Structure 1
Amino acid sequence: MAPALASDPVSQADTPMTDGNDDTVPLVPVDSADAQTSYQDTPDYTDSDTNPNTTASSIAGDMDGRRRRSEANHLRKSILGKKHGRLDESKENDSIRRFRYLLGLTDLFRHFIETNPNPHIKEIMTEIDRQNADSEEKARKGSSRSGGAGGERRRRTEQEEDAELLRDERRGGDTTTVFRESPAFVHGELRDYQIAGLNWLVSLHENGISGILADEMGLGKTLQTISFLGYLRFVCEITGPHLVVVPKSTLDNWKREFARWIPDIQILVLQGNKEERQRLINEELLEENFDVCITSYEMILREKSHLKKFAWEYIIIDEAHRIKNEESSLSQIIRLFNSRNRLLITGTPLQNNLHELWALLNFLLPDVFGDSEAFDQWFSNQESDQDTVIQQLHRVLRPFLLRRVKSDVEKSLLPKKELNLYVPMSEMQVKWYQKILEKDIDAVNGAAGKRESKTRLLNIVMQLRKCCNHPYLFEGAEPGPPYTTDEHLVFNSGKMAILDKLLKRMQADGSRVLIFSQMSRVLDILEDYCVFRDYNYCRIDGTTAHEDRIAAIDDYNKPGSDKFVFLLTTRAGGLGINLTSADIVVLFDSDWNPQADLQAMDRAHRIGQTKQVKVFRFVTENAIEEKVLERAAQKLRLDQLVIQQGRAQQQASKATSKDDLLGMIQHGAANVFGAKTTGSANEVSEDDIETILRKGEERTAELSKKYETLGIDDLQKFSSESAYEWNGKDFTERKKDIGVSWINPAKRERKEQFYSIDKYYRQALATGGRTADTRPKVPRAPKQITVHDWQFFPPGLSDLQDKETAWFHKEIGYKAQLPDTTAGGSTELSDREADQALEQHAIDNAVPLTEEEQEQKARMSEEGFANWNRRDFQQFVNGSAKFGRTDYVGIATEIDSKEPDEIKEYAEVFWRRYTEINDYTKYLRVIDQGEEKLRKMNHQRKMLRKKLEMYRVPLQQLKINYTVSTTNKKVYTEEEDRFLLVMLDKYGVEGEGLYEKIREEIRESPLFRFDWFFLSRTPVEVGRRCTTLLNTVAKEFETNGDGKSRGRDREEDEEVEDAAPAKKKVKNGAAQNKQVKATKGGKTGSNTSSRASTTAPKSKGRKR
């Protein structure tokens, strides 16, 4: 049956209330029988158990305390369950309003909603269509009864008007709120566009829609979000709870902004070490003593078990492009949290392709955007009519995404001026650039037939980019020892030479500078340079502690600060930092992702900046950095078309292709090899600086003009092929003759002739690099699956792959090589020749795979557990040992990437085929030992529970059956042992931090406040005593209880040695034991008082 479409607002009785002091009262349903019970009434576990004044009347009180605790826990779970129930009901009402609103905007949303396989959503759509049809039918009939086609209007009756007023009254929650000035609850003035952004967020909330606030960096997205949460609290009377997830670097900034703009909102920052987080969770989070919980991405992963218990009103994610990959751990975990609405904050909503945009929309509205294939297919099917697709995408994005740029809304902020400075390389940089290219000259040439891996090309790219920054990033490049901080630090890098001239000019002009680099080791060099030039500086990189970041930012921003330079890494220093006290930004190198560079620029170019911001981007001329910059410009143009103008991207490569990397490496390589020298960078004069600045302006304008003319279709086809177009001519065909334009290495330098024998051998032995391997390289076989024994592929798969590889070797005429002695095989020549002959025989007699075998291979490749790596397998073994081989849920807690159903499927195959694993007995032994330990713990747990159930108040009445050998060496009193057994029953006989918890109980208990011996026991010593007591209790219930346990006696001997008990002096010098006397005299251990009152004060052992 279709669900009822209720539009009534949530009952006022279900909303959190405030008392006279505006303190939030815990939300308790009014119809609950336990509505008057408060969490504060829940007693401590030891309120009655550890009271030294416990009497017979408090024995019954102990049972009452446990009952009250059980009821309180039950009440807590009941309240959380009802909150989730109310939230789900509100979400259903929001879904109905959302579908009606979206379908009213455009019928395009019907296509996305109907692709959702959820039958409940289909029922809602059916009911909406039925009600719409009924409304149209009533309107049609009313029009026909009104008399003719024109239909005269008639006056409403009193009953009709009353009915309509009643409907409007019931829809009181549908009234819209529009702010025309800064709300009174915000302690400050919002700009006009920020008020418009607040109204947009309010409209989203009133229509049950989640959205993306995608304003350009520096427009106050944080303030708009805080103002919206204030609207929820003070206008809608929704106090929360809200969850705000932000980068770790911006935690303190969010806390400050809340305290500055709306201090009435109670904030909880969930961050810190394990102990601090545990305190915050117990005292603040679980008690709901907050309105907004601010935490970091890392804490979401670590504390997910606590955070997912809550029914959140809003989940807000800052820098939301972190969840653009729906397969990431953060994205998957945060989707498990239950919330009524979600808000994403990002200045870079699109970084690579349209699928990432879908991932954000799917997180916001999974009931609307539930199928990525349908989303992608919707665009790919519209290739014939590009304009229609553009218009439709714009209509789809408009309700969810608000994107504004500074130039449109913030008129008081001067536009930033970007300038690309094309810097020549120094002589040392040219030499190192040549070395890198010569080392892999075959990969650089990329000749036909070469099968160079993309990883190898990426490594070359990385090394070339390091060389463009500074040659001292390579080991052995810096002259020394002794190493000195001198002018060579400047003139050996072209970028440093230009930077040195620029900084002198900027300091004279009264400017302050931010310098960004991707490499923290570049910051090390810049730090030495600042010390050398006496520039005061601050620094932030990925290793900077959170407190040090805050101190550095405050130190740089404070009035009258003497800090001239701020050194930052692009990724660590480009998020959530306000550095408007600087007006010059230097990008020492460019990031692959242009959005990261934009984030870095906007640390200075944001609200509050009074000067014009100038951005200088260093680009090494005739080198790989020019191509990196071109690719960044392509991505920025794509973002402008898709997000800011509502255009679609159909096909975009997620990563740089191998051909693109090859084109980047080859760019400028011929010039580097052909150049004798580019001149030393220290010869750059002031006139050269002016020339570089002027050329930079010209080339920056030229690059911008080039990409302004490219449309969506041009960008989709854009790749390194554009490098073959010059002066309007297409030179693509010449690429086929790449052998003709082969890049030759630099000319060989004549070696110095040594006539001294010592010098000759010294030069001959100093090879300075890898020895070339003259043997023919083994050609690569067809792509094969790496088969590991723990993945349990069908047994015949390896044979089929070996057969296919042998045929490939036969086809290309490959001859088996003599096995290398370093491969771990036999060193005998005869054995190696025999192995070579066997391999060659297999190649000579190889036959290709038949069609049936190829199909069988493809089928077998899909039957194994290819997604199980070695780490997963090892965690499976450890989890089976820890929880037992059939506890799939428990094992799943050990394996982060697997669900219980996957583990069950794998375990069934494992226990059938474990003999196929190499050295499987080692893994079975681990599992058997773990299960044996688990059985022993379960047995001890049962025996302990059985023992304690024999007494009404175990802490006072429990009797422990010590053996005589135990009594002779006993250093713990029976009162202490009883307490340990009760604590073991409370916390379990095994668990993380068990004995630390028991030690804390000992220290907090008033029973032992004067028992120095018991208070001074370490967790290790407490653990040994607990093991002894558990064995004693278990031995008591054994059927052969008359036998003696020598193993237990040995454990007790070790325990006695560790405890080092105090001996009592007697007249004849012999030591006596009061417990032995008490036992012989017929006295029971229960009457023995605490050691704190019985030990003689002159004891040489423990001091009291």
Structure 2
Amino acid sequence: MPRKSAAKAEEPSSDEVSAHSDVEMQDQPDDQMSGFKKFGYNVDTPDYTDSDTNPNTTANSIAGDHAPLDGRKRRAEEMNMRKSMYGKKAEGLRASKEDDTIRRFRYLLGLTDLFRHFIDTNPNPRIKEILAEIDRQDAEESKKSKASKVRKGGAAAERRRKTEQEEDAELVREEKHGGHNETVFRESPGFIQGGTMRDYQVAGLNWLISLHENGISGILADEMGLGKTLQTISFIGYLRYIAGITGPHLVAVPKSTLDNWKREFAKWCPEVNILVLQGQKDERAELIKERLVPDGFDVCITSYEMILREKTHLKKFAWEYIIIDEAHRIKNEESSLAQMVRVFNSRSRLLITGTPLQNNLHELWALLNFLLPDVFGDSAAFDDWFSQQNADSDAVVQQLHKVLRPFLLRRVKADVEKSLLPKKEINLYVGMSDMQVQWYKKILEKDIDAVNGGAGNKESKTRLLNIVMQLRKCCNHPYLFEGAEPGPPYTTDEHLVTNAAKMVMLDKLLKRMKAQGSRVLIFSQMSRVLDIMEDYSVMRGYQYCRIDGSTAHEDRIQAIDDYNKEGSEKFLFLLTTRAGGLGINLTSADIVVLFDSDWNPQADLQAMDRAHRIGQTKQVYVFRFVTEMAIEEKVLERAAQKLRLDQLVIQQGRTQAPAKNAASKDELLTMIQHGAEKVFSSKGPLGPAADGELGDDDFDAVMARGEEMTQKLNKRYEKLGLDDLQKFTSDSTYEWNGETFQPRKKEVGISWINPSKRERKEQNYGIDSYYRKTLVTGGRTENKQPRIPRAPKQIIVHDYQFFPERLTELQDKETAWYRKENNIKAPLPEGPDEDLESREADQQLAQQEIDDAEPLTEEEKAEKERLIEKGFPEWNKRDFQQFLNGTAKYGRTNYQGIAEEVDGKEADEIAEYAKVFWKQYKTLDNWQKHMGVIEEGELRVRQSEEKKRLIAKKISMYRMPLQQMQIKYTVSTTNKKVYTEEEDKFLVVMLHKHGVEGDLIYEKIRDEIRESPLFRFDWFFLSRTPQEIGRRCTTLISAIVRELGDGDAKNRNGKRAFEDEETEDEDEVEQPKKKAKNGVKNKALDAVKGKASPASTSPSRASSVVSNGSATKKAKGKKK
């Protein structure tokens, strides 16, 4: 039976597609199965000449053939037509995917048997059947070939003429499957308008076409600036004009590139119908209503955020291609975006990225799993296979290359774009001005214990990261700190330049670039640096544009257009690295300044390639500013390490073994300590450009030295191999410029500075008095202003930690004595003026306690330590809230269940905490609220258990529930009923099997429906979504509760324990005032309905359900 007729008979569903639907294939009838016929290999592919299955048919075009109806019926008719269209398109897509699966496996196994290892890990039995059938057919062909050679004398068999029957069979097979024709373009295709594609872009198009013809999804990973967008658009043009596939396609891109993608489509392929799904809620609703739902588009371009917001509409489509730009956004398979795009049903997928696979094996697997879930389904098997090769890193690289070669195309500008001169990168090393040195010291002094490593493991990584951030701000410009800029009044003057060595260098560089006619892009991670740049540009009279993270989309487009337009007088473009580094073409500039380096070197590369891309006719220079003998040197070294990994692995289409993604605490500490010794020993400015002046000779010397040190840095990392980089730590970078910087903790100690200044908190921002008082490196400076020293270290007591009250008393006593010893007066409590008298009284009482304070005795100190052990100091607010939620979900004594809710706690810890909680819960603030949450959850548990008991009781009443069960419907249920009794009984049995509550219950029931042979041709039941199945199950549970519930089926508050939550989507029918006595059939109502509309049919597909009727016969009722 050809698939064309089968598609008409089955009316398959597609309202909802599983996240792993790429490998879930519906069983075909046995009479359709012979060899690969059961997989769709020798079965007719969908005939798209039929309007029912034409992928370009829209719901409106179908509904438009009918006579006009009233509004409500017309909308219902359109909705049914639309559902039918979605279902038939999904069936056509599923048939195509089955064909693709066969071709894909044959192609991959023909490349290397390595793929068999990954395919074998897929638990889907259909996959194993396909592999077995491939092996069987290969064995038969090999056997026949050998036998023929034996009979006819070796190679003579291959030279014999074909019979008429053999040739006819081959022609028919090629007609069905398109033969093995391959489309290859030798020049820019005719459907590309607005320009001509370059040779390597045509080669990229041919590669994408070969993937499509072999049923494979891939990663287009060309280096930034090589025209990946154009190659993708040309491929969509091929699908439209050559393959006859107009769509729909989904393109997910960063929000900042939406307009660029729209422009590129309009330029290169204007006939493609583009829908940009973006805007405010009401604007999106209009787009969805007028264009998305009616299928009035070929390509839908939207942002990642819109995919999450409008997932309900987008997941209903059977997409031909899902294309994701900046594909590293889904490298974490646990992210919301990665999970959502996996749910969408598509024939093929394409990932676009200029910075692929930069982290580890697992992230590589996440991308490959998204592309081909039937091949790369098990991450553990993927990781384990490569970890077994650790003994030989070269073997790992070779095997990775074999795995990636079919899916990944990676080219760099130096190899393919001969007309584009390679960019020249120079690191310019500058020093620190006197003000920067003083602030750098101050930052280190403030946390001297962490800087010296003297606090052991007590300092948190967050604290170290904060120090790193502050030091990097100081390297950029001291005015980033509150109170550093002299004023008020604040003036735009030369001090903007002279107080930061980088600004001195930039000022000299820009003057030279302006004189030679260049235009400059300046990137910084910090938007407040751009604020300073704006003031500087105004002072120097430079015209500029600016883009940062807060720039509106429309303003961003306007700024780019203003800078790129012919004859533009804009000299500078100020951008933040992350906001301005994606999807922007600024080839009108030829100088790039990286004012500071990003932790991720790929972000800096993205920034450079805004200017260094196709269309650039000048030599591009990239100047990276680095503060010498400071933390920025270490940041640069870490970036160089990552780039070396990229060079070793990614450029060859490979990936790397797992590596650390973020700096460890020890590495952060090393970065902070780097150069600190020289900073503290300095009496003034340090290094080049530090004194605020830089002559021409000095500038040329800095440039020459920068080129030399850049070459040294690159050569140093060129020597490192894959194994060296995998074991890389900051220790391997201590040797630099002929000097060793191994950390010497004895020298980097308290003797640097007087650590007492860490306590200074006064907010005095007069620049002269500030430095006079706070930046003294000698003895302790007397502070005449009263201040409160740091109190003794104590446990912060929270009520949910259940510390004994005695501990609070002892800590209060200890604090009072500390204040008395340091002559600290009790502060006046804050409050309104009318309460001044009361607050003064409280102050006097507090002061009295301080005056009468005594130090803790040795016994009390020991008692305090014992009391600390009696509480739960390791429990935080989150743990407490999770404990409440777990108790509400699993009950008060199910400690194992509660432990699953509380992160990092075992069942015995939960039991210990619960024992104290139930004794002392009334001591908590808002304990009534907490108990309300628990009791409400316990009520839900009891209700759930009652439902399960009644369903089990109902099932146990019948020997064969699926055939014998009788469900007593209420009148309201019968009136709106569109499910057959057979379907309802199946749902009840599945509720008994899977339970009535839990995660993904109705998704599991939906999968059971799709796998059951009973409903192979039941399009209505197959097309129900988990939400619709859930609503029907709720209705059936309510009916069973009414039938079997005891007389006490009311809760303790006198309310019904189980409400009828029937909220079906079908049209509402007015409720009769009188219910049928037996709860199954209302004969009077049927009689009235029969008189009112004798020619009409019941809205129910089981229109005459009676308690003693045949379930089998009623299941055959006509479907509405």
Q: What TM-score, normalized by structure 2, do the two folds share?
A: 0.68
Distance (whole Å) between structure 2 residues aligned to residue 548 and residue 152 of structure 1: 69
Pick one of 89, 93, 107 that aligns with 1:87: 93
Cα distance in 1 for partners of 2:394, 2:196 equals 41
- Structure 2 residue matching 1:573: 3-state secondary structure: coil
Q: Please, which of 840, 861, 871 is the counterpart of residue 862 of structure 2? A: 840
1:533 partner amino acid: R
Distance in 1 between the 2:610 and 2:741 partners? 42
1:711 aligns with 2:721: yes
Distance 1:357 1:788 in 2: 46
Deviations 1:417-469 (A, max 9, x none): 10000011111000000000111111111137352211111000000000000
Say yes or no: does 1:109 pair with 2:115. yes
Aligned length: 835
Cα deviation for residue 95 of structure 1 reads 1.5
Does the CA-based 8 Å contact 1:255-1:269 persist in structure 2? yes
More displaced, 237-246 or 329-338? 329-338
**Matching residue of 2:1078:** none
Contact kept in structure 2, 1:268 and 1:290, CA below 8 Å: yes
Deviation of the 1:764 alpha carbon: 3.2
Q: Deviations over 1:858-899 (max 9, x none)?
A: xxx9xx99998969989999xx9xxxx9xxxxxxxxxxx99x
Residue 36 of structure 1 and its aligned partner are, at CA, apart by 7.8
Check conservation: 2:794, 2:811, Cα contact below 8 A.
no
Are residues 1:184 and 2:201 paired? no
- How do 1:641-720 and structure 2 match up within 5 A? 641-678=648-685, 680-720=690-730
Counterpart in the other structure of 2:228: 221
Match of 2:783 in 1: 764
Structure 1 residue 696, shift from structure 2 partner: 0.3
Identity of paired residues, percent?
63
Match of 1:7 among 41, 47, 62: 41
From 13, 21, 26, the counterpart of 2:57: 26
Indicate yes or no: 2:619 matched with 1:612.
yes
Q: Distance in 1 between matches of 2:596 and 2:636?
A: 10
CA contact (8 A) 1:323 1:331 kept: yes
Return the match for 1:424 from 398, 421, 431.
431
Q: Secondary structure at the match of 1:525?
A: helix
1:275 aligns with 2:282: yes
- 1:407 matched to 2:407: no
- Per-residue Cα deviation, 1:580-614 (whole angstroms, up to 9, x for no partner): 00000000000000000000000000000010000
Is 1:538 the counterpart of 2:552? The answer is no
State the one-letter code of the partner of 1:682. Answer: G
Q: Say if 1:771 and 1:418 are closer, same or farther in 2 by CA, change over 3 A.
A: farther
SS at match of 1:212: strand
Partner letter of residue 717 of structure 1?
A: K
* Structure 1 contact 16–25 (Cα < 8 Å) conserved: no
Match of 2:524 in 1: 517
Q: Distance in 2 between matches of 1:571 and 1:846?
A: 47
Answer yes or no: is 1:455 the counterpart of 2:462: yes
The match for 1:491 is 498
Closer, same or farther in 2 for the Cα pair 1:234/1:357, shift >3 Å?
A: same
Label 1:876 to 1:78 Cα distance change in 2 as closer, same or farther (>3 A). farther
Structure 1: distance between partners of 2:564 and 2:263:
15
Structure 2 counterpart SS, 1:231: helix
Aligned to 2:942: none
- Matching residue of 1:230: 237
Counterparts of 1:119-198 in structure 2, within 5 Å, are: 119-147=125-153, 153-172=159-178, 174-187=180-193, 188-198=195-205
Instruction: Report the counterpart of residue 316 of structure 1 in structure 2.
Output: 323
Report how far residue 152 of structure 1 moved.
Answer: 8.0
Quick one: which amino acid aligns to residue 398 of structure 1?
Answer: R
- Inter-partner Cα distance in structure 1 for 2:340 and 2:206: 31
Give 1:37 deviation, angstroms: 4.3
| Pairing 1:345–2:370 present | no
* Cα pair 1:421 1:617 within 8 Å, conserved: yes
- Residue 357 of structure 1 corresponds to 364
Partner of 2:790: 773
Matched ranges for 1:847-862 at <5 A: none
Q: Secondary structure at the match of 1:561?
A: coil
Shift of 1:632: 0.3
RMSD, matched Cα: 4.5
What is the CA–CA distance in structure 2 between the aligned matches of 1:817 and 1:536, rounded to whole Å?
A: 62
- Deviations along 1:1029-1053, whole A, 9 cap, x unmatched? xxxxx9x999xxxxxxxxxxxxxxx
The 5-angstrom pairing of residues 232-381 of structure 1 reads 232-381=239-388
Residues 914-925 of structure 1 aligned to structure 2 (within 5 Å): 919=926, 921-922=928-929
- The whole-number CA distance in structure 1 between the counterparts of 2:429 and 2:398 is 40
CA–CA distance in structure 2, aligned partners of residues 442 and 608 of structure 1: 53
Q: Separation in 1 of the partners of 2:858 and 2:377?
A: 57
Residue 530 of structure 1 deviates from its aligned partner by: 0.4
Q: Distance in 2 between matches of 1:572 and 1:407?
A: 26
Q: Deviations over 1:700-750 (max 9, x none)?
A: 000011111111011011111114457999997xx6x73355374247999
CA distance change for structure 1 residues 702 and 40 in 2, over 3 Å: closer, same or farther? farther
The residue aligned with 1:1102 is none
Counterpart CA distance in 1 for 2:318 and 2:158 is 52
Q: Give 1:130 deviation, angstroms.
A: 2.3
1:508 Cα offset (Å): 0.6
Change in 2 beyond 3 A, CA 1:839/1:378 = farther
CA spacing shift, 1:865–1:91, aligned 2, 3 Å: farther
What is the CA deviation profile of residues 771-821 of structure 1, one whole-angstrom value per residue up to 9, with x for unaligned ones? 65374687x9xxxxx9997xxxxxxxx89xx99xx9xxxxxxxx9895547
> What is the identity, as a one-letter code, of the residue corresponding to 2:80?
H
TM-score, scaled relative to structure 1: 0.69
Counterparts of 1:873 and 1:261, CA distance in 2: 59
Partners of 1:334 and 1:173 in 2: CA distance: 32
Tell me what 2:778 maps to. none
1:242-298 Cα distance to aligned partner (Å, 9 max, x none): 000111111110000000001000000001101100000000000111000000111
SS at match of 1:571: coil
Q: Distance in 2 between matches of 1:467 and 1:167?
A: 72
Residue 517 of structure 1 and its aligned partner are, at CA, apart by: 0.3
User: What is the rounded CA distance, in whole Å, between the counterparts of 1:180 and 1:635 in structure 2?
Assistant: 37
Q: Do residues 200 (structure 1) and 227 (structure 2) align?
A: no
Q: Is the contact between residue 523 and residue 568 of structure 1 (CA under 8 Å) also seen in structure 2?
A: yes
How far is 1:68 from its partner? 3.9
Which residue, 17, 23, 38 being the options, matches 2:63? 38
TM-aligned CA distance change 1:603 to 1:875, over 3 Å = farther
Conservation of the 8 A alpha-carbon contact between 1:513 and 1:564 = yes
Higher RCO structure, 1 or 2 (CA under 8 Å, sep 6+): 2
Q: CA shift at 1:664, angstroms?
A: 0.6
Q: Secondary structure at the match of 2:301?
A: strand
| Structure 2: distance between partners of 1:525 and 1:712 | 42
- CA distance in 1: counterparts of 2:117 and 2:932, whole angstroms: 57
> In 2, are the aligned partners of 1:96 and 1:124 still within 8 Å (CA)?
yes
Which range moved further: 369-378 or 826-835? 826-835
Instruction: Give 1:72's aligned residue.
Output: 78
Aligned with residue 630 of structure 1, among 637, 660, 663: 637
Does the CA contact (< 8 Å) of 2:449 and 2:455 recur in 1?
no
Pair 1:207–1:449, CA change in 2 (3 A): same
Name the CA shift for 1:262/1:787 in 2 (closer, same or farther; >3 Å): farther
The CA distance in 1 between the partners of 2:887 and 2:81, in whole Å, is 37
Alignment CA distance shift 1:586-1:36 (3 Å): closer
Please, which moves more after superposition, 506-515 or 141-150? 141-150
CA distance in structure 2 between the partners assigned to 1:266 and 1:869 by the alignment: 54
- Structure 1 residues 440 and 729, CA gap change in structure 2 (3 angstroms): closer
Cα distance in 2 for residues equivalent to 1:831 and 1:25:
86
Distance 2:56 2:162 in 1: 47
